[in-house]
Structure formats: C-alpha cells, structure tokens
C-alpha cells in the first residue's frame, strides 16, 4: 500500500471516531475483542489497564464510539468510585517478594484491619455486603488476608519459602472470578457444621464475585449474595459464597442461584471443576464437595454468612480462643483488642519496606491438562 493511500485511510478513520457513526475495520480474518492481561499483571494482580489503547482490536471488529469508551474504561466504573473515597490501600515491601503487603486505611488515612474494621454490611437493610478483593480475576498469585499479623494486611501465601501461585488448569487461566473474603466473618475450626459434617477452616468466609469488571487487589466491592458451594478442603468446611457486584450491568437480572445459570451459563459447573482440580498440579488429590457439588440458594448462603459473622463477633470479643488470629482493631466497641488510631498507624509504620523481588515464573504460562476419574 502506498504511503499516501495509507495516510488518507487513517485520516478517514480518525475523522469517523469523532462522528456518530461506527468504526469499522475490515480484514479477511474474523476474531473477537480481547482484553488480555500481561504476564506481569497476572503475577502482580494489577488487573487490566483502563486505557482505551489497551484494547486488542481484531481486524474484523465493529464498535461504535460509545461501545469503545464503555469497554475501554470498564475498570473505572461506579463501584470503584464508590469505594475509592472510603478505603485506601497502601503497599509495603518489594512487589513479588515475601515482604510484600497491602495495608488498608480509612477515608481519613488512618490504618485499619480489613478483617475487623470494614463492616460486613454495606447498607442499613443488610442486603448488600462489603467484599475485600484478594485476587483479581485471571491472576495466579495466591493472595490472602494475613490472619496472624497486626492489621491483617493482604500478603501472598508462601510454601517452602517460595511465593505460591495457582496453576492454569485447562481451560481455566488463573482465578476465574474476582476472589476474596467477607470482612467480619470467621469459619470457626471448633464448630462442627451440621450441613457438611466438617469443622470450619479458621478463615474468613471466601467470596466469588462473578460480574464483568476485573477488580483490583484491595478493592472493597459492594455485592449481593446469590448462593454458595461447600468445598471440603482437607477435611475442613470451606464455604465459597457466590456474589455479584450491585454495580454490575446485569446485577438486576441475577438475584438467586438459579439466575446464575441463566445469565452466566456454565459458570457454576466451571467453578466446581476449578476447585476440584486446582491443587492437582501440586501433587494433591482432587478436592471434594458437600452436597455433591450442588450450589445452594441465596437464602441458604445468607444464613451461612450470618453464622460466620456471629463466630467473628465471639472471636473479636475474646469469647473464644483466637486460634492465632490477630484481632487488633480500631472500631469494634467493647472489643478487648481495640486500639487507638496512633497505635494502629505504628503497626503500619513498622512494617517491612524491603524484600527481594522474585522473577516472574515461567509456570504462569503453562497449561495443565487434568482428567478427572
């Protein structure tokens, strides 16, 4: 193609971006629009850039200007704006190291615990919940709220001195939802669950957020409960609460577990499969589920969350043994673990700022093909 012809075509395209008409790019090969995280983003959990320039447009893509802007800026949606002014995150330590931590601060910039100081309920009616995002969708780093450390920062799990990542088990890549936890919940390891016949796993209850937006590590999302599945992890009950952000475009269409299959066909089946096989590449057996992997409805899940909230209340009020969990907090009235704001800020100030970053593992790009018996 001659240079002058090429420039004329580019001018035409740029002029049409500013018009009301669609942008149409044609070529013999057909494909889709992909938002693809880089390997570094999958490692660090930074999600996707909100820049329109990060859109990978196939030669046959046809998008009008409004669609282009909507897709390009999806990560700056209302939910991000709602939470950004109320909770802040502060990273400490070298990224990709065992010293790396994500601490939380309130809207005044004072240090808080995401486990104890962020309320479980996000509205007065107690129908919307706060979810702390530990792992953004499509990332592999196994991040989790640190139970044993003061202020409970998010850190990466470590095994044999090495940072842990979940394997890519075909056709899944990394975590297939925004993954995190409900604050102010605790699965009591001394409580025998009547439904599963197993005791709790000593963690806050896990949450899967299935909406379209890729969250960022440390986001606090407002979600509604849709249902739950009950993983039995090494003999312990490990509830997985299925939710959707109330700000998601299809949130009004999804109100119970039956709606998930209608609006997100195949996702429940894929979720159960993911939990069954994700540890197999590490040499561990297939995980098991209560109820044969059947998902329970929103009413059942809400009851389960309420129970773990009561267990947390007992924990933070020192009515039960803390099981190695730091209950340091700045907001829970009457808690023996309540501290002044300056004491909490001191915990943050004394946290590590060092560490040696590990190189990005080549294993992040490897597929594992798992066959279940």
Q: Tens digit of pLDDT for each residue in 3-37? A: 444 445 545 444 444 444 444 333 333 333 334 45
Q: Hey, what domains does the chain have and what are their CATH numbers? A: 88-368 (3.90.80.10)
pLDDT at 188: 97
Q: Where are the beta strands (DSSP E) in 96-254?
A: 101-106, 111-112, 129-135, 143-145, 154-156, 158-159, 162-163, 168-169, 178-181, 199-200, 206-209, 220-233, 236-245
The two tokens of residue 246 are 């109330």
pLDDT at 160: 86
Q: Quote the distance between the C-alpha of residue 77 and its chain's center.
A: 16
Per-residue pLDDT of the chain (373 residues; tens, 9 = 90+): 444 444 455 454 444 444 444 443 333 333 333 344 555 555 555 543 333 333 333 333 333 333 322 323 233 333 333 444 589 999 999 999 999 999 999 999 999 999 999 999 999 999 999 999 999 999 999 999 999 999 999 999 998 888 999 999 999 999 999 999 999 999 999 999 999 999 999 999 999 999 999 999 999 999 999 999 999 998 999 999 999 999 999 999 999 999 999 999 999 999 999 999 999 999 999 999 999 999 999 999 999 999 999 999 999 999 999 999 999 999 999 999 999 999 999 999 999 999 999 988 888 889 999 988 7
Residues 6+ apart with CB under 8 A from 92: 99, 100, 101, 102, 103, 153, 348, 351, 352, 353
Taking the CA atoms of 341, 342, 345 and 347 in sequence, report the sign of the dihedral they define: negative
Cβ atoms of 83 and 119 closer than 8 Å? no
pLDDT at 5: 47
Question: What pTM, to 2 d.p., does this model score?
Answer: 0.80
pLDDT at 182: 98
Distance CA 274, CA 269 (A): 9
> Does residue 337 sit in helix, strand or coil?
coil
Tell whether omega for the bond before 68 is within 30 degrees of 0, i.e. cis.
no
pLDDT at 42: 52
User: How many CA atoms lie less than 13 Å away from 129 in the CB half-sphere?
Assistant: 28
Distance CA 196, CA 232 (A): 8
pLDDT at 16: 44
Distance CA 236, CA 239 (A): 10
Helix (H), strand (E) at residue 88:
strand 87-92
């Amino acid at each position: 193609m001659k240079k002058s012809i090429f420039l004329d075509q580019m001018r035409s395209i740029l002029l049409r971006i500013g018009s009301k008409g669609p942008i149409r790019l044609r070529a013999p090969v057909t494909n889709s629009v992909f938002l693809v995280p880089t390997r570094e983003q999958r490692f660090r959990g930074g999600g996707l850039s909100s820049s329109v320039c990060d859109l990978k447009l196939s030669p046959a893509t046809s998008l009008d200007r409004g669609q282009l802007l909507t897709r390009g800026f999806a990560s700056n949606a209302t939910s991000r704006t709602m939470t950004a002014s109320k909770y802040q995150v502060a990273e400490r330590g070298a990224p990709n190291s065992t010293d790396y931590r994500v601490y939380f601060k309130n809207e005044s910039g004072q240090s808080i615990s995401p486990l104890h100081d962020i309320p479980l309920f996000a509205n007065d009616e107690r129908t919307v919940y706060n979810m702390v995002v530990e792992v953004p969708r499509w990332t592999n780093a196994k991040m989790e709220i640190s139970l044993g450390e003061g202020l409970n920062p998010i850190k990466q799990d470590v095994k044999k001195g090495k940072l842990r990542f979940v394997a890519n088990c075909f056709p899944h890549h990394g975590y297939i939802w925004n993954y995190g936890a409900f604050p102010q919940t605790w699965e009591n390891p001394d409580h025998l669950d009547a439904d599963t016949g197993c005791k709790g796993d000593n963690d806050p209850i896990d949450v899967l957020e299935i909406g379209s937006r890729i969250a960022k590590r440390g986001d606090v999302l407002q979600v509604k409960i849709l249902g739950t599945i009950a993983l039995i992890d090494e003999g312990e009950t490990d509830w997985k609460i299925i939710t959707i952000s109330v700000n998601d475009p299809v949130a009004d269409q999804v109100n119970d577990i039956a709606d998930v299959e209608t609006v997100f066909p195949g996702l429940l089946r894929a979720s159960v499969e993911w939990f069954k096989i994700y540890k197999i590449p590490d040499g561990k057996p297939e995980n098991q589920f209560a109820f044969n992997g059947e998902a329970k409805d929103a009413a059942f899940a809400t009851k389960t969350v309420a129970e773990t909230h009561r267990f947390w209340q007992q924990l933070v009020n020192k009515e039960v043994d803390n099981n190695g969990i730091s209950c340091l907090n700045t907001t829970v009235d009457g808690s023996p673990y309540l501290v002044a704001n300056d004491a909490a800020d001191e915990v943050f100030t004394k946290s590590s700022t060092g560490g040696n970053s590990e190189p990005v593992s080549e294993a992040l790009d490897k597929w594992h093909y798992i066959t279940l018996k």
